[in-house]
Amino acid sequence: MIALTEAEITKAIPPGSPGIFKLMNKKGDVKKVGMAETDLAEVLKKAIHPKYEFFEFKATASDKAAWQQLCEAWHYHKKNDFLDSEDHPTPPRGKFWTCHFCEDSKRY
């Protein structure tokens, strides 16, 4: 886990990379998951909030790969943590990707 500050984000994440992130509270519980299509560091800086103390991230090869990993992470943490939002992630605007982890392979 990395402290959720602008300096730490800049240090940890290469610029211009798609990827996913997880935000944790003081106890290390994952409270939020999210993705970035083109620039994870930028998106993460905008997500800085006093509610969250730490972050983890994974850079991905493409925005589609980020989406798939985001869905996997969301399903996992929905079961094991208390996410701030119960809502399933939605793909970036203009993308009609499905989630492979939903039983009904629902379209979002």
Cα-Cα-Cα-Cα dihedral sign, residues 23, 51, 6, 95: positive
Nearer Cβ to Zn ion, position 97 or 101?
101
Could you say whether residue 99 binds Zn ion (CB under 5 A)?
yes
Task: List the x/- string, 49-88, binding to Zn ion by CB under 5 A.
Answer: ----------------------x-----------------
Could you say whether residue 101 binds Zn ion (CB under 5 A)?
yes
Residues in CB range of 88: below 8 A, 6 or more apart:
71, 74, 99, 102, 108
| 30, 83 contact by CB (below 8 A) | yes
Q: Which residues bind Zn ion (CB under 5 A)?
A: 71, 99, 101-102
